[in-house]
Structure 1
């Protein structure tokens, strides 16, 4: 497939209430930003990032093996980084927004670089029952990852237009299912529904909003013999979104949720429409009627100006104030979705360990020079 074909904007537009003049849109119009503000943000992102936006030490990672994953019980979640979650449901593995690339960028020599390696290599993953995609930005949709997963993954669930992009890349069309908001499917008894989000899409200068973005509701209901010892499990995955009244609508229609995986990172006062501040993340969780909050979209890539650990600290403080159960697993750490455990403050050890190491090195140098 030629480079021209790979980069061509998606042009197939299934009928949707979310389209206007050939492009997808949010329910509430995006405020005008202006070219000068956009260019200023880009300039600052390239040349004026504070050092604190990148961890000084190493992110702790629980290394995983295929054998460990296959032996894990159903209703397990493993956070692999950023917004990539590996779920084990009814014996099958499902992955959200898989990105295993070194950089969240169209260029592998430039752009936001990973803070840590994935807990398991792409080739070591067990065959996937399916891939769940929220939208087509580079930190959520990595072409190389998708094409490798397509060799064994049985199905790709995407918002409208994103599936067209996968097919243009070479993914078998028979594996791709595309959905508008409030549409979904049932696979192996598990219910998947694409739900609204407030964001945008595009991978180049000329394909903005030519694919839809979405959050996802995942329900593992009780049926048959399973009803004897299990209860329904309801999960919410936000993808990317600014705060909007759609969270309340989703909560009313599908809630309450056992676990909400909601973005908490890459936020800034300069772009509140498309990414939430931690206060809004917590409010979205309450709107959804969630029990456990698992903040995602953090700890892997440098995508904003805030200190890298700030999303964890702010959402932790807010959750404690409001009595919200918070899960913050290390990368690779197993989460029991039926009974998550309280937050571990692993991020506090990262920079402090680096400071201690620097102090030790300085002391050694001083001793050596004495």
Structure 2
């Protein structure tokens, strides 16, 4: 009996080790990358650091809201009671000269600016976790497939967490992607997945990338952490500014509130549209994600004309009700200098017509008549 038990434990260990060698986990930074990290003011003691230190993030093992409860119990408030209303815009038919944003759910966005097609943190998969059948997409939100995505000039990846860097999506889109822009260390994942080095722009915070006369990408700070497996902060988490002569856009990636928003605004000027982390919040990770109130303050700091809630609407990674971020932000909007932009997944935001846009509260499903 003991021999059978030992054999079972050994078999599980071997299977677990083999699973962890799966290419979807990516690759750690190589020696050349590590040497480059030493030049970064944000890297010391073998890891990257935030501008403002954060307390250790924990999910207490004795909490009644621990990991097993989160992944496997049925808290109905964390997911919509029925399929969400969406609008499946044909992205191939949008004139490339139009400046637009299309929310693809959670933190994924399709953006056209200055004639360039940009894809931000694309996750088209049904789940956002290395563990099968966990963190499943809400019903009705997986309306886009790889075939629906046109050829992409630049993919922007904010960090290497599973709900932002999705291996199946990246690999399925690989032949459609010209270039990727990532923080330090994240390029190692793409190289391990067969991307050419000259496709990868890998850089530190506060870097300005002039792509042509009409488009500049700013790689900027965020307040978060990174890691696809056990080791944290071996790669850098970033936010992005997307700037053309006509537009100033900002994507926060995952970020807690911090002084970096004011610093970014001082450097870039007022923002037309800010796509801001406004969901998946809890006191246990208070400093690495924003509450709706934090997101509103960040919108004020950035002097944004419009704010789109991100990190919401497709996956549940926190304990609050799935629609709480939308309801809170809608309640705050009347007192804010910015307009709240709440498109349905797939709905087009025309950047030339921001002042004319008016979205219904589609998340109030019982009050929504159109799908």
TM-score (norm 2): 0.86
Of 131, 137, 148, the match for 1:107? 131
- 1:55 & 1:351 partners in 2: Cα distance? 11
Paired position in structure 2 for 1:263:
277
Q: How do 1:213-292 and structure 2 match up within 5 A?
A: 213-221=237-245, 232-292=246-306
* Partners of 2:222 and 2:252 within 8 A in 1: yes
Gap change, CA 1:49 and 1:16, over 3 Å in 2: farther
CA shift in 2, pair 1:55/1:146, >3 Å: same
Q: How far 1:61 sits from its partner (Å)?
A: 1.4
1:331-342 → structure 2 map (5 Å cutoff): 331-340=345-354, 341-342=357-358
Q: Tell me: CA distance 1:66–1:287, structure 2 relative to 1, closer, same or farther (3 Å).
A: closer
Q: Which residue of 2 aligns with 1:294?
A: 308
CA distance in 2, matches of 1:143, 1:171: 12
For structure 1, the residue ranges without an aligned partner over 5 or more in a row are 222-231, 355-370
Deviation, 1:41, is 3.4
The 1:261–1:35 alpha-carbon spacing in structure 2 relative to 1, beyond 3 Å, is: closer
- Checking the alignment, whether the CA contact within 8 Å between 2:121 and 2:165 is kept in structure 1 is yes
Given the alignment of the two structures, is residue 4 of structure 1 paired with residue 37 of structure 2, yes or no?
A: no
* Alignment partners' CA distance in 1, 2:101 and 2:154: 14
Residue 97 of structure 1: aligned partner: 121
Aligned residues: 340
Q: Secondary structure at 2:68's aligned position in 1?
A: helix
Per-residue displacement from partner, 1:273-317 (whole Å, max 9, x unpaired)? Answer: 111110000001111111111111111001111111110010111
The one of 78, 85, 97 aligned to 1:60? 85
**Aligned counterpart in structure 1 of residue 338 of structure 2, from 313, 321, 324:** 324
Q: CA deviation at 1:4?
A: 3.0
Q: How far does residue 48 in structure 1 lie from its aligned partner after superposition? A: 5.0
Worse overlay, 327-336 or 71-80: 71-80
Q: Is the 8 A contact 1:147 1:170 kept in 2?
A: no
In 1, Cα distance between equivalents of 2:338 and 2:208: 29
Aligned to 1:20: 44
User: Aligned partners of 1:5, 1:320: CA distance in 2, in Å?
Assistant: 48
Q: Name the CA shift for 1:34/1:335 in 2 (closer, same or farther; >3 Å).
A: closer
Q: 1:228 — aligned with what?
A: none
Between the aligned partners of 2:301 and 2:264, the Cα distance in structure 1 is 8
Q: How does 1:290-369 map to 2 (within 5 A)?
A: 290-340=304-354, 341-348=357-364, 350-351=365-366
Structure 2 Cα separation of the partners of residues 124 and 293 of structure 1: 26
What's the counterpart of residue 135 of structure 1?
Answer: 159
1:202 aligns with 2:227: yes
Structure 1 33/133 Cα, relative in aligned 2: closer, same or farther at 3 Å?
A: closer
TM-score, structure 1 length as denominator?
A: 0.86
Say which SS state the counterpart of residue 21 (structure 2) adopts: helix
Give CA-to-partner distance per residue, 1:38-58, whole Å, 9 cap, x none. 976323313456211100011
CA distance in 1, matches of 2:142, 2:93: 15
Larger CA deviation: 210-219 vs 121-130: 121-130
| 1:116 CA displacement | 3.0
CA contact (8 A) 2:78 2:316 kept: yes
Could you give the per-residue CA deviations for residues 43-86 of structure 1, whole angstroms, max 9, x where no partner exists? 331345621110001111111324433x3651111111111110
For residues 38 and 159 of structure 1, the distance between their equivalents in structure 2, rounded to whole angstroms, comes to 35
Structure 2 unmatched runs, 5+: 1-18
Q: Note the 1:8-87 alignment, pairs <5 A.
A: 8-11=27-30, 12-13=33-34, 14=36, 15-33=39-57, 36=60, 41-48=66-73, 50-69=75-94, 71=95, 73-87=97-111
Q: Which residue does 1:166 correspond to in 2?
A: 190
Residues 8-37 of structure 1 show CA distances to partners (whole Å, capped at 9, x for unaligned) of 433433221111111111122221356745
Give distance in 2, aligned partners of 1:250 and 1:277. 20
The structure-2 alpha-carbon separation of the partners of 1:20 and 1:116, relative to structure 1 and needing over 3 Å to count, comes to farther
